[in-house]
Amino acid sequence: MYDIILQSIFFISLAVLIYLFARALPRVDDSGKTDYRKGVFDRMLAQLPLREVDSHINASLEKFLRKMKILVMKSDNVINERLHKIKKVNAQQEEESDEKSLFKEENSDTKK
């Protein structure tokens, strides 16, 4: 499902790029004149406040990335705490197993 969405977004953006390139291509001349008539799509694009939309997207992206950074840092702390607990438990188990093996060795040495 995600592949379809990603592919659709990719091809739609590619189509927009090709359209914009095709619209700008007739304007390029050796003489430097621009022979360009505004169409319906161009008038609609001119009405959009692109600078405001861009600044809003940048601000939202910055907030999102900061929140994700905090989330990653919190998860890193949780993982480190779990690792330290597991390390303590393993160290205690090794000490207990070493003590048990010492007693067994001492008992086996005294019996001989």
CA gap 90, 83 in Å, rounded: 10
**Which is higher by pLDDT, 62 or 93?**
62
- For residue 98, give Cα distances in angstroms to 45, 55, 63, 86, 111: 76, 64, 52, 18, 20
- C-alpha dihedral sign at 84, 86, 88, 91: negative
pLDDT for 65 beyond 60: yes
Give the pLDDT confidence score for residue 42 in this predicted structure.
Answer: 80
Report the alpha-carbon distance of residue 20 to residue 26 in Å, rounded: 11
Q: What is the pLDDT of residues 7-39, one digit of tens each?
A: 999 999 999 999 888 877 766 555 655 556 777
pLDDT of residue 72: 97
* Among 33, 8, 10, 38, residue whose Cα is nearest residue 23: 38
As a whole number of angstroms, the distance between CA 74 and CA 77 comes to 5
Q: What is the pTM of this model?
A: 0.46
Per-residue pLDDT, averaged over 98-111, amounts to 59
Domain range summary for the chain, segments of one domain joined by +: 51-111
